[in-house]
Amino acid sequence: MSTTTIDALNEEFSLGDPLEFNAGSGDLTFVEIENNQSCATICLQGAQILHWQKHDEPPVLWLSEQARFESGKAIRGGIPICWPWFGNHPDDPEKPAHGFVRNISWKVLATEAISEDKTRIQLGTSDTPETRQLWPFSFRVKVTITVGEELTVELKAYNETDQPYTFGGALHSYFTVSDVSDIKISGLEDTEYVDKLDGLAVKTQQGAICIDREIDAVFMETKAECVIEDSGLKRRIYVAKKGSKSTVVWNPWIEKTKQLADVADEGYQTMVCIEAANTGEDLITVPAFGSRILKTTLRTETL
């Protein structure tokens, strides 16, 4: 994005030290937020949070060292917004995986310094002739990101027509961990899940999740808050959600990581994804002139 455009964004929406717009990698535009509690970086492409870190703590979100910053290309890490479908398109594998909104530039709608401890930005996008080639619906979506002692991401989908539409998606959150083999994830005990690595077999989680191999699981009929306990970084990460009854847990492990051009071979060791999702049987129908919310709230606690 040109310097002139960034200057215009700063003139209209900058809050000074708490929030400003800068030229980021690959000619993308970044929003830099810093207040008394934490700091964050957001890319206007995809309205994607790339970084969130409380002061004097390690980063909460994981961003690949080999992430590609290119117009129209997905960025590996942070919190990509997958919408209006999750994973491959159900009918056409040629369409972009995880929908299309993560690959387009969003507009800035509003910014607000709520207090010295909390800063908020709202971004939005809507249908265009190009999106209707991929998904034949008129829509408007807005994401509200609140940065402070907690990080809150609220995605709101609007239907401004007299016909309902159905969508899937996820807030595809990547978390930084000391060593994925040494963490445990609680909150999904005794929950049924679809094992995407075992022919979509339905299984039941026994105890906390400990990762010692590739995992790609969709936990069903759960609204539970998940907790990552990380003795190496001496912290817990709490992952709460709203508007979702499916939770995705993913780590590509050794062999799958080697197939990912934008992840270092050892990158799997320091990340895990826990995603507030609408997938499988948890697709969402937005009624005529209605709206629906998908939300996640992240917080940390020192061990």
C-alpha separations of 217 from 119, 167, 188, 245, 256 in Å: 34, 20, 11, 14, 15
Q: Are strands 48-54 and 38-43 parallel, antiparallel or unpaired?
A: antiparallel
Give the SS3 label for residue 67: coil
- Please provide the DSSP assignment of 214-242 as one string: -EEEEEES--PPEEEEETTTTEEEEEEEE
Distance CA 172, CA 51 (A): 13
Active-site residue, selected from the candidate residues 51, 89, 98, 172:
172
- The two tokens of residue 257 are 């990581």
**CB count in 10 Å sphere of residue 302:** 9
Report strand pairing: 118-126 vs 235-242: unpaired
Confirm if 246 and 191 have CB atoms less than 8 A apart.
no
Output the six-digit token pair for 166: 């159905």
Asked if 89 is an active-site residue, the reply is no
CB atoms within 10 A of CB 104: 16
172 is catalytic: yes
Find out whether 46 and 75 touch, Cβ atoms under 8 Å.
yes
Of 20, 51, 98, 275, the catalytic one is 275
Question: For residue 82, which phi and psi values (nearest 5 degrees)?
Answer: -95, 120
Active site residues: 172, 275
